[in-house]
Structure 1
């Protein structure tokens, strides 16, 4: 579990209305602006080019570093290759000492913050002055941390900045932005003209020419690199690219992804020392480049985490992260924030330092969707979590839950059945639990929880498995735990709809938890054990298709199982064979009823395959999704059937579950299926693909973060004017149904399977 001090930082951030408001306003505007600035450009092609360039560079840092060093030195510059932060700090201090420097001007540099340069120099009598406006403001506020990688002071209202300036100048300053900018310009100009050294970072370093490229929106970097007689550039190995042409795609993506600009105000390229200034006559400034390793070459040698070195520091991943918008960079504790920040922290600081920050990732995958360097940040966070657990072990609570219960399916099922019998005092006979006592109370703040089903799906399966004389295909239903023990009615709907399409559905009784809770907790041992049990259980069903109505389970079966068992000669092939059979329920229905041609005959046929297995499904009846939804009862407690009053269509809005859209890519498939139902009107809600805040155990571990994410989603749902919310994930059903119940809303939340089951043939 997260440490006490870390939890306190989260609480302070959530209580800071100014911080949350600023980040949310920027994020909302950013999404629109980013879409506009990328309009007409092939983003996928661009990110592939950047990923290829950076991945190639990471595979040969030593070669590029030597080439870069030769190029810089051939032009009169000096390169110091710093193994770690201590070596980098000491070198910069010695250069300053040799030149009698007492004051340094700095442009914005993550690398300088990473090595804690300011404090080191101050302790030795040298004063560093930040010249980026936001960084300077924060420097005037001892103890204040940046809230964003690109806009570090975005959380500060103008009134607070005015108070800071008033203290600094010892005179009143009005909260007028233009006037405060003039004050900053006036004060910082003095420092540029008197400093003996300028320090910068770099966005790109070109090995071929020894060029460093700096992108800024203020003129401070150009002043810091040209006015003082000595310029020191701190450049991480990951900024290296082979040739000058390689800067083009990065310059195209960096401002668009970072601040939604087509280009930054200043793009500065420095190739070797530049002429001296300050009226000193002819001469050349000194240029020192500190090429910083500090864990980067170790990261490049890691086959899993090498990918993170493709990062171009645009912060687009944090700009779209629903968690970051609530807690800001101040909570992460180190220089680099967000999911990518926790990965970098593990290598540039330590694995222990990354343990708490990585736990903030909810796994919604929005970051992977927008990353211009094609980094699969959520997957790397899970790998990092595994390493944290391997080194530190699971917390006592997770160990008990996962090793003691989830990894032992029979015990888990026994406990759930017992809980179903004993839950009366908290359910009061209702299908939803609205209040939990004592230290469990936070779990029902803002949402109700589902009661455990009195009769799980596995006990109903035999009654549902009615043999078909000539089935179109045989499907094994993998229900997952939530459908099995909380929402068996979703499972019944799956049986009904697929049976209507001529599919013989069977329920393998030996199936267990898919292992997602273990995977997301970093418990690989339990995940492997459950993968093997499920593969054996599903193989025994002798089915052509394995269907699931839970996208998290689908991802586990299709992606996680082959990865977990890769290299195991007894299980690898079996995992891959199972993965090839897995289909999401809505995906399968779409294919059966008009999605595309495939190997299975129409309903009532002989079921003979017409193509190779795995190539698709025969459409059979074109347009069979055109059904009439006519039944009664709209209250969500208990979930009723859909109502069509007269000829008026039932308004349905669709919530895109994170795994369903971003892992399986089935969001449009679901919409087409719903649009094919007569009697339904699909209305889009705002931010339909924004996370609902469930995240499995995340909503238990971080209810204080999960709750406001849910609140925003509920506002958008209510504003849609719909009567029904359609989703394809039982976890989202749990979160949204519970949230609407706490609001006292009459809106229903239904799985797509339930909606289709309520629709009858015309």
Structure 2
């Protein structure tokens, strides 16, 4: 395994103006194109469910489908081989070439052949290989690899393409796209006619009749599979589907998701050898062409039998997860692993190339979950990435600093909180008001483009006793407040606002001092044993309050307590039962308050002078499914006029430790968010997540000091006297 400097690669991509322009334009255009393609579809989720169910059946019967596919194709005159890995496939293919006196090969786009570096091998054996997909052809000339599964050369502009054309053809090719396309046709036509063999991949392989389907927008795929006298199909086991009718389930989604089209230009079905006329020994003869199919394992069958990772078989390689990924749309695909990019690429790299290679870039997934909203196969990509992280930690262990912080400090509440208090004192030389605007030496990058929030002089837990003296005499409910680390030690004033609002709606609020960090950073790092220790502390602390509800004003904490704790204890009956009881009591602050406000008539549209907009936390919007309630609260807040910003649900770039580890990349996402906030015309941006408040607030402090940022609890608390 080659060790890479991922941070250096990211920095070079961030400062590549061509790459950034191409990706930015595409990421802005894609959502509208996809929406237009689905405009007349009554129920997209129904289509996604059909595809997911079909693919789940396929993976459960993958060996049976492989046998049926082989029998069907061989009955039609083809020949099927099975390769356990790339090396075995190369040997099989070389033997086919030698037996058939093959010298010239044309290829259509195939990620499976990229995966095993097939072209390099064939050329080393003295064979001439020509890519015929326009993007793949240019990349082969440039000595590059695809940055996208559908649009491999999306990172190049037309001037770069023209240079590659000119270098390859030894003639001056202008950067005129129609001219370059015509030039490619002229040059490749000769390659097609002189080819002894055509190699293609497959978008699907149908078991009942041995047919394969190719989905393309260029005619090269159809020509590669028809003109040469030999056609070799190379595909992974995940492409197998039971019946021809199942192909429609793929075709209703793949074009719409992949390129924003209702249908691609070419859908080619190849179902075995067909008669062709070609030159042989100086004469034109008619004979059946030869068709070979090689099924590639390379870790796929092991994944098929993995109770968790088999979900990856639901992928149809549309790359829509890349198209909406904030990381891919900022730095492109080449910073990822072996061949496959984006979140799904991280998973495939882990399964096909091993966890060591996966671990080099696995934390580029920030868990924003935008991919889950578009994936046609409904793959839970962030959870599969997390599962691979867990396995890597179980196999290799944590680094020494992580082990010390997670296992020795964070699980010991008194030590953890004592260190935070000490940090509050230690930060004074670099603190300015409530922010740290500049850090020295190698920490400097963390404060380029944003300020960092300072740790509060007095945490919320030291303010709670006095605040709780204002509980109502005749409470309507009893609420335990889970503050989380940020509202306790960074934004204690917001913690106070939460309590005041809860008291205002008639709640007796309890603050259990024994509560600790929810454990999300530890869970994200893959240390589940330590996470369970923390979870037990918090469950016990909250149980002791005997509260009717547990309120969290941090969506990350809410998700962790409500959902993740149950997953942590799925194999522990006693603690699972306790986690489930906690889950039923857990409520996210804004959605809980909005329901009560709606019931008592407080939600009224108000006219205000100050424009306010709202940023959706990723955990809030896509994990908890909460997005309407905060907007209703803001629309009813006296003195404000609510305006929606563009990209309200796009990640702000904080994403826990990611915001510190990949500071440059985090700032790029932040700048995108700040641009949208400014363009909304709002002078206040509201959030419901303290981590987002840290990131966006730090950016505003540096880049837009005329704009204020407030937690929804603060906005509600400042208007309590008006209700």
> Into which bin does the TM-score normalised by the smaller protein fall?
over 0.9
Map 1:53-452 to 2 at 5 A: 53-142=54-143, 144-278=144-278, 280-428=284-432, 430-452=433-455
Instruction: Give the Cα–Cα distance (whole angstroms) in 1 for the partners of residues 277 and 16 of structure 2.
Output: 46
- CA contact under 8 A between 2:139 and 2:146: conserved in structure 1? yes
Instruction: Give the Cα–Cα distance (whole angstroms) in 2 for the partners of residues 467 and 214 of structure 1.
Output: 67
Deviates more, 1:116-125 or 1:400-409: 400-409
The match for 1:529 is 533
Secondary structure, counterpart of 2:97 in structure 1: helix
Instruction: Give the Cα–Cα distance (whole angstroms) in 2 for the partners of residues 442 and 579 of structure 1.
Output: 39
Map 1:461-480 to 2 at 5 A: 461-465=464-468, 466-480=470-484
The answer to whether structure 1 residue 690 and structure 2 residue 640 are counterparts is no
The match for 1:460 is 463
Secondary structure, counterpart of 1:649 in structure 2: strand
Cα deviation, residue 87, structure 1? 1.2
Cα deviation, residue 468, structure 1? 2.3
- CA contact under 8 A between 1:65 and 1:240: conserved in structure 2? yes
The match for 1:681 is 641
Map 1:508-547 to 2 at 5 A: 508-547=512-551
Cα distance 1:15–1:397, how it changes in 2: closer, same or farther (>3 A)? farther
- CA contact under 8 A between 1:316 and 1:371: conserved in structure 2? yes
Cα deviation, residue 4, structure 1? 5.0
Cα deviation, residue 681, structure 1? 0.9
TM-score normalised over the length of structure 1: 0.92
Cα deviation, residue 284, structure 1? 0.8
Cα deviation, residue 402, structure 1? 1.9
- CA contact under 8 A between 2:460 and 2:487: conserved in structure 1? yes
The match for 1:743 is 703
Cα deviation, residue 469, structure 1? 2.4
Deviates more, 1:402-411 or 1:687-696: 402-411
Cα deviation, residue 404, structure 1? 3.1
The answer to whether structure 1 residue 711 and structure 2 residue 667 are counterparts is no
Cα deviation, residue 45, structure 1? 0.8
Instruction: Give the Cα–Cα distance (whole angstroms) in 2 for the partners of residues 311 and 219 of structure 1.
Output: 24
Cα deviation, residue 278, structure 1? 2.9
Instruction: Give the Cα–Cα distance (whole angstroms) in 2 for the partners of residues 409 and 276 of structure 1.
Output: 76
Of 619, 622, 625, the residue aligned with 1:665 is 625
- CA contact under 8 A between 2:337 and 2:346: conserved in structure 1? no
Cα deviation, residue 480, structure 1? 0.3
Alpha-carbon deviations, 1:256-279, whole Å to 9, x = none? 000101111000011111222336
Alpha-carbon deviations, 1:230-269, whole Å to 9, x = none? 0000111101111111111110100100010111100001
Cα distance 1:441–1:401, how it changes in 2: closer, same or farther (>3 A)? farther
Instruction: Give the Cα–Cα distance (whole angstroms) in 2 for the partners of residues 348 and 451 of structure 1.
Output: 43
Equivalent pairs, count? 715
- CA contact under 8 A between 1:626 and 1:761: conserved in structure 2? no
Instruction: Give the Cα–Cα distance (whole angstroms) in 1 for the partners of residues 69 and 638 of structure 2.
Output: 66
Cα deviation, residue 449, structure 1? 1.1
Cα deviation, residue 282, structure 1? 2.8
The match for 1:700 is 660
Instruction: Give the Cα–Cα distance (whole angstroms) in 2 for the partners of residues 242 and 578 of structure 1.
Output: 43
The match for 2:485 is 481
- CA contact under 8 A between 2:409 and 2:415: conserved in structure 1? yes
Of 690, 694, 699, the residue aligned with 1:734 is 694
Instruction: Give the Cα–Cα distance (whole angstroms) in 2 for the partners of residues 51 and 175 of structure 1.
Output: 42
Map 1:543-692 to 2 at 5 A: 543-594=547-598, 619=599, 621=600, 623-626=601-604, 648-692=608-652
Instruction: Give the Cα–Cα distance (whole angstroms) in 1 for the partners of residues 438 and 687 of structure 2.
Output: 25
Cα deviation, residue 165, structure 1? 1.6
| Unaligned residue ranges in structure 2 (runs of 5+) | none
Secondary structure, counterpart of 1:405 in structure 2: helix
- CA contact under 8 A between 1:104 and 1:128: conserved in structure 2? yes
- CA contact under 8 A between 1:258 and 1:316: conserved in structure 2? yes
TM-score normalised over the length of structure 2: 0.97
Cα deviation, residue 443, structure 1? 1.4
Deviates more, 1:366-375 or 1:329-338: 329-338
- CA contact under 8 A between 1:132 and 1:220: conserved in structure 2? yes
- CA contact under 8 A between 1:238 and 1:296: conserved in structure 2? yes
The match for 1:490 is 494
The answer to whether structure 1 residue 499 and structure 2 residue 460 are counterparts is no
Instruction: Give the Cα–Cα distance (whole angstroms) in 2 for the partners of residues 182 and 667 of structure 1.
Output: 49
Secondary structure, counterpart of 2:256 in structure 1: helix
The match for 1:611 is none
Cα deviation, residue 387, structure 1? 1.4
Cα deviation, residue 648, structure 1? 4.5
Cα deviation, residue 761, structure 1? 2.8
Secondary structure, counterpart of 2:547 in structure 1: coil
Cα deviation, residue 511, structure 1? 0.4
The match for 1:602 is none
Alpha-carbon deviations, 1:489-510, whole Å to 9, x = none? 1111111111111011110110
Cα deviation, residue 349, structure 1? 1.4
Secondary structure, counterpart of 1:726 in structure 2: strand
Instruction: Give the Cα–Cα distance (whole angstroms) in 1 for the partners of residues 615 and 403 of structure 2.
Output: 33
What is the alpha-carbon root mean square deviation over aligned residues? 1.4
Alpha-carbon deviations, 1:409-464, whole Å to 9, x = none? 21110011112123211114x11110111222121111111111111111111111
Instruction: Give the Cα–Cα distance (whole angstroms) in 2 for the partners of residues 517 and 539 of structure 1.
Output: 23
- CA contact under 8 A between 1:627 and 1:761: conserved in structure 2? no
Secondary structure, counterpart of 1:104 in structure 2: strand
Alpha-carbon deviations, 1:140-164, whole Å to 9, x = none? 112x222221111112121122221
- CA contact under 8 A between 2:451 and 2:699: conserved in structure 1? yes
